[in-house]
Structure 1
Amino acid sequence: MKHDTQPRRYDGLQDFLTTLEKRGRLKRITRPVALKHEITEIHRRVLQKGGPVLYFEQPVNDRGDISPIPLVANLFGTRERIEWGFGLKSGEIGKLAALLSALKSPHPPASFREAMGSLPLLRSALSLGSKTQSHAPSQAIIWRGEEADLNRLPVQWCWPGEPAPLVTWPLVITRDHYNPNDINVGIYRMQVLDGHRLIMRWLSQRGGAKHFRSWKAAGKDMPVTIAIGADPATILSAVMPLPEGMSELDFAGVLNGQKTRIASGVTQPLPVPANAEIVLEGSVSATEEADEGPYGDHTGYFNAVERFPVVTLSAITMRKKPVYLSTYTGRPPDEPSVLGEAMNELFIPLVKQQFSEVTDIYLPPEACSYRAIVIAIDKRYPGQARRVMMGLWSMLSQFNMTKLIIVVDGDINVRDWKDVIWALSTRFDAARDTMMIENTPIDYLDFASPKAGLGGKLGLDATTKIGTETDREWGETLKMSPDVSQRIDNVWQELGLD
């Protein structure tokens, strides 16, 4: 198909869904399907086969009622749809990586030619920011007080053994108590406690949790707005490794080529995407907490029950005919792991800025969100692999959670396990080439670590040893001479061996 030859921007989620349906990438499910477990199982099977977006027209809650609001799942279940959501052609996510790298570390042009080449970046910078819209589609319907009832929404119940339905694709918008311009958009799952309360589960290092601590220190509840479903650029901006201090709402304007349209919350002093499908407004209690979980997580296990702050709703707003965006998390492949693998290319230029010797980097999706990295380098001096390992662990917040780094030479394909295991088997000595660090920050969901949030990291140097790294003469890699390869290429068709 040639549909992806014309990338475009999308005014909202439903605009994106219409395009996907025209391109044969969306499947409508017309029969009633239970929100409790059945949608997860259908989604899981379709995602594993690289299948389409799923549009459930009649989601059924656990009371047997059919919701008038359709549910959409598997939105970003393929790399193709992720790139289209970014407004890119298929295979062009590398262009976004270059833009992100330049925005993170801009430099003045060295020549007129370079200045002309930087014009797209200048236009992107001018798109940063937001524009307030008075009559937002996301506020066409407003429910306040008792009307703002979560039971009116088709909230998914993902796995057997979970205690309650779970909001899985929320764009949680918060701001710092002392700096109103410090606004963050994060994705944090939320357990439904009752019709008007949810539990906000976030990791302590995330932006929303950081903002919450500032409000809690002041002894005040924190205002929050939560968008469920928005234009794809806004959704994807919330999962990107953006430069420190850059707002996700602002960066969505870069992706869309225009300032992000926002509206002011009807009950909370925070922005909301003007084109959102559904918006929850409320406050995060500075004092009230509740037990959250257990829930199925990206590790493939149920997480432990822990206490997190409670959100009390003050309003629900929505479009006239909204859709509800949902997903599930589980052992890869799931939708977050597909997103993570596509985002892999965004890290390459960021890492190369810090380490010019890096030639490639791969975060295997099976490694549950950044827990393992394979990195290739152009090796030039002894100890170089260890330097890169230590640098990566401290470079990005995502890499703080990485507990295994394998460093290989540039002749190894980091995406091919056969190549990596060959390098480990022939260029790695367990006593000399292992680096182990204890008591470092780790994903607290990792049950393998001896303490929650604190564990060990392992680095394996599978590079060719040079200089003082070895006293032995290193073997020469086998390879055919170029002239013989060319001669065989020339006669290959005649041999009839295909």
Structure 2
Amino acid sequence: MATAASDLPSGQYYRDLNDYIAALDKAGKLQRVTRPIDKDTQMHPLVRLQFRGLEEKDRKAWLFENITDAKGHQYDMPLVLCAMAGSSDIYALGLQCTVAEIPRRWDYAQANPIAPKVVDSGPVHEQILRGDDLKDRCLSRLPIPISTPGFDNAPYTTASHWVSKDPDTGLHNVGNYRGMLKSEHRIGVYPASPGWGMRRHIELWRERGHDKMPAAIVIGVPPAVSYTAVTRLPNDVCEYDVAGGLAGHALELVKCVSHDLLVPAQAQIVVEGFVPTSLQEMEGPFGEFPGYMAARDYSWFMEVTAITMRNKPIYQAFLSQFPPSESSKIRGIGWEAACFDYLKAGGFDNVLEVHYPETSGSFGVCLVRIRRGKEDDGQKVLDHLSKKFVGKVAIVVDEDVDIHDPGAIYWALSYAMQPYRDVRVVDIPLMPLDPSIAPPGANRGLTGEKPRMSGLLIDATRDWAYPPVSLPRQEFMEGAVKLWQEMGLPELNLRKPWFGYNLGHWSAEETEEADLAARGDYYVTGEKQRQQRRTLD
């Protein structure tokens, strides 16, 4: 069930993660766990069950208040999981809107970004640990869970928003990347997509002759920051600005204690350090959003110089791995909004809706619903998509096709397109986490020549006028719904289309004959046809 407007928080946007967790609890969307839970073997398997055994509406965020590890160590901070996007309803709560209003909130935020403001101090600097403070215990202070017990080779940060900046412009990037726990003072990072975000910044710092790049990991933030960190925004757009647009006010940022990067003052935890630009280590395997273990490969790492945090911090993690998951939900909603804006900015005012199905990891399949005016409208949309947002398969359909219903997509694929005419294969931007790119052990694009990645473009819009949809006309179906309800039959969840409608190829004579039939006067039509007989030669 979508969030009701009456159930939403009133007043200002959440100041921090603490405020948001309180709102989740009040809305009945928080599962508190006070019994001891092993973060290495029990935590993720327990929460995974809700994605394999419950309807989306029943998923919750989970707050673990008594955390141990495989060696019996007790942690002094709680951990929240699935708080940002355990479901669409939870995501909507994070934006203080209804599910139906999410696209408009994103559209407004991108059109009206709010630049952050720098402040002298904030809660994230209540504890500043560096030097001797971290000599014996550094990263092990944090209850970083194992996401895929039995397959992952270490604990990995997942809701880890890595901050870096362009060495020329100073423009900050906030991107969400996993972080492999390698030692007390070293953590891996896997910025997979060439030319984007932190990956591009590392390349720029190296090209400018720098042997290391300042970086920071932000953990535990208001939802607006997480929502922008996981969304593919243009390289010349700062995520802090769009997050401000989502929140409705400027984010407060503080300067790191190890370098001049700016991080959210209201964050729970910040891990600071430097990334060597010319060194890589083996990283992985790790369970990733396509639903398979991501193969080990060489990637970058950060040498930790400081940890700053609140006096009583809350550690935050995402549940990713096999779809559906929190990862697929948070990516899907953000990507839908960003892709819609990308198409609109490209001049495609006929685009009505974009959808990335959760079961595709909110990446592999991109569905677009358009109002088709010209013969090549569908192909033009696909051409523009393939430059950035295509995923693996992009399908464009007519405005009457429900892109949230797989059955409606199968219908469009079956009868609105011809493969020889409407299907193309093109090269698309690389996503190294896709296991179909290359066999295990082969180059996946972090070093050397990039492997080829292709996308399937399908224009499943109708190329000409069609006869009506073969369902009873609307007034007859509405009468049937009323009758159904009077009979006390089970509640209906009607899928579109649930009544027939004209698609352009239908004559006045055919309409008249159908009206006659509905009145019981079909013999009139039979007599007319008798008079129109023809004799075969």
Indicate whether the TM-score tops 0.5.
yes
In the alignment, which of 225, 242, 253 is matched to residue 244 of structure 2? 253
Q: Is 1:283–2:274 an aligned residue pair?
A: yes
Map Cα deviations across residues 417-468 of structure 1 (whole Å, 9 max, x no partner): 111112222223233332123x4433222222357442222122322223xx
Q: Is 1:60–2:68 an aligned residue pair?
A: yes
Q: Is 1:336–2:345 an aligned residue pair?
A: no
In the alignment, which of 340, 344, 347 is matched to residue 348 of structure 1? 340
In the alignment, which of 143, 160, 168 is matched to residue 154 of structure 1? 143
Q: Is 1:134–2:120 an aligned residue pair?
A: yes
More divergent stretch after superposition (364-373 vs 270-279):
364-373
- CA pair 488-259 structure 1, distance change in 2 beyond 3 A: closer
- The residue that corresponds to 1:36 in the other structure is 40
In the alignment, which of 262, 274, 293 is matched to residue 271 of structure 1? 262
- The residue that corresponds to 2:230 in the other structure is 239
Question: Within 2, Cα distance between the matches of 1:493 and 1:28?
Answer: 40
More divergent stretch after superposition (136-145 vs 23-32):
23-32
Question: Within 1, Cα distance between the matches of 2:27 and 2:416?
Answer: 48
**How far apart are residue 346 of structure 1 and its match?**
5.1
Q: Is 1:424–2:417 an aligned residue pair?
A: no
- CA pair 346-455 structure 1, distance change in 2 beyond 3 A: closer
Contact 2:324 2:361 in 1 (8 A): no
Q: Secondary structure at the match of 2:286?
A: coil
**How far apart are residue 253 of structure 1 and its match?**
2.3
- CA pair 312-464 structure 1, distance change in 2 beyond 3 A: same
Question: Within 2, Cα distance between the matches of 1:483 and 1:151?
Answer: 66
More divergent stretch after superposition (477-486 vs 194-203):
477-486
- CA pair 493-292 structure 1, distance change in 2 beyond 3 A: closer
Q: Secondary structure at the match of 2:225?
A: helix
- CA pair 29-367 structure 1, distance change in 2 beyond 3 A: same
Q: Is 1:78–2:87 an aligned residue pair?
A: yes
**How far apart are residue 146 of structure 1 and its match?**
4.4
Q: Could you say which structure has the larger radius of gyration?
A: 2
More divergent stretch after superposition (187-196 vs 457-466):
457-466
- CA pair 22-209 structure 1, distance change in 2 beyond 3 A: same
Question: Within 2, Cα distance between the matches of 1:75 and 1:480?
Answer: 44
Question: Within 2, Cα distance between the matches of 1:435 and 1:233?
Answer: 37
Q: Secondary structure at the match of 2:375?
A: coil
Question: Within 1, Cα distance between the matches of 2:41 and 2:161?
Answer: 23
Question: Within 2, Cα distance between the matches of 1:22 and 1:482?
Answer: 42
TM-score by length of 2: 0.80
Map Cα deviations across residues 169-225 of structure 1 (whole Å, 9 max, x no partner): 111111122222x11111111101100001121022321111111211213310112
- The residue that corresponds to 2:130 in the other structure is 144
**How far apart are residue 350 of structure 1 and its match?**
4.0
Q: Match of 1:427, as an amino acid?
A: A
**How far apart are residue 136 of structure 1 and its match?**
1.4
Q: Match of 1:338, as an amino acid?
A: K
- CA pair 11-405 structure 1, distance change in 2 beyond 3 A: same
Question: Within 1, Cα distance between the matches of 2:409 and 2:73?
Answer: 52
- The residue that corresponds to 1:449 in the other structure is 437
Contact 2:8 2:96 in 1 (8 A): no
In the alignment, which of 453, 460, 469 is matched to residue 462 of structure 1? 460
Q: Match of 2:400, as an amino acid?
A: D
- CA pair 130-356 structure 1, distance change in 2 beyond 3 A: closer
Unaligned runs of 5+ in 2: 445-450, 491-537
Q: Secondary structure at the match of 2:46?
A: helix
Contact 1:16 1:231 in 2 (8 A): yes
- The residue that corresponds to 2:385 in the other structure is 392
Q: Match of 2:177, as an amino acid?
A: Y
Contact 1:136 1:263 in 2 (8 A): yes
- The residue that corresponds to 1:228 in the other structure is 219
Question: Within 2, Cα distance between the matches of 1:63 and 1:485?
Answer: 63
Question: Within 1, Cα distance between the matches of 2:339 and 2:478?
Answer: 36
Q: Secondary structure at the match of 1:431?
A: helix
- CA pair 4-346 structure 1, distance change in 2 beyond 3 A: farther
- The residue that corresponds to 1:25 in the other structure is 29
Question: Within 1, Cα distance between the matches of 2:488 and 2:248?
Answer: 52
* Residues paired across the two proteins, number: 463
Q: Match of 2:433, as an amino acid?
A: L
Q: Match of 2:122, as an amino acid?
A: A
- The residue that corresponds to 1:310 in the other structure is 301
Q: Secondary structure at the match of 2:285?
A: coil
Percent identity, please.
27
Question: Within 2, Cα distance between the matches of 1:491 and 1:367?
Answer: 39
- The residue that corresponds to 1:478 in the other structure is 470
Following superposition of structure 1 onto structure 2, how do residues 373-412 of structure 1 map, counting pairs within 5 Å? Answer: 373-394=366-387, 397=388, 399-400=389-390, 402-412=391-401
Q: Match of 1:419, as an amino acid?
A: A
TM-score by length of 1: 0.86
Contact 1:403 1:442 in 2 (8 A): no
- CA pair 458-250 structure 1, distance change in 2 beyond 3 A: closer
- The residue that corresponds to 2:529 in the other structure is none
Q: Secondary structure at the match of 1:283?
A: strand
Question: Within 2, Cα distance between the matches of 1:51 and 1:482?
Answer: 35
Question: Within 2, Cα distance between the matches of 1:161 and 1:340?
Answer: 23
CA-based RMSD of the aligned residues comes to: 2.4
- The residue that corresponds to 1:214 in the other structure is 204
**How far apart are residue 168 of structure 1 and its match?**
1.0
- The residue that corresponds to 1:359 in the other structure is 352
Question: Within 2, Cα distance between the matches of 1:315 and 1:483?
Answer: 68
- The residue that corresponds to 1:94 in the other structure is 103
Contact 1:7 1:89 in 2 (8 A): no
Q: Secondary structure at the match of 1:454?
A: coil
Question: Within 1, Cα distance between the matches of 2:252 and 2:129?
Answer: 22
Q: Secondary structure at the match of 2:31?
A: strand
Contact 2:47 2:62 in 1 (8 A): yes
- CA pair 428-270 structure 1, distance change in 2 beyond 3 A: same
Contact 1:8 1:87 in 2 (8 A): no
- The residue that corresponds to 1:322 in the other structure is 313
Contact 1:96 1:346 in 2 (8 A): no
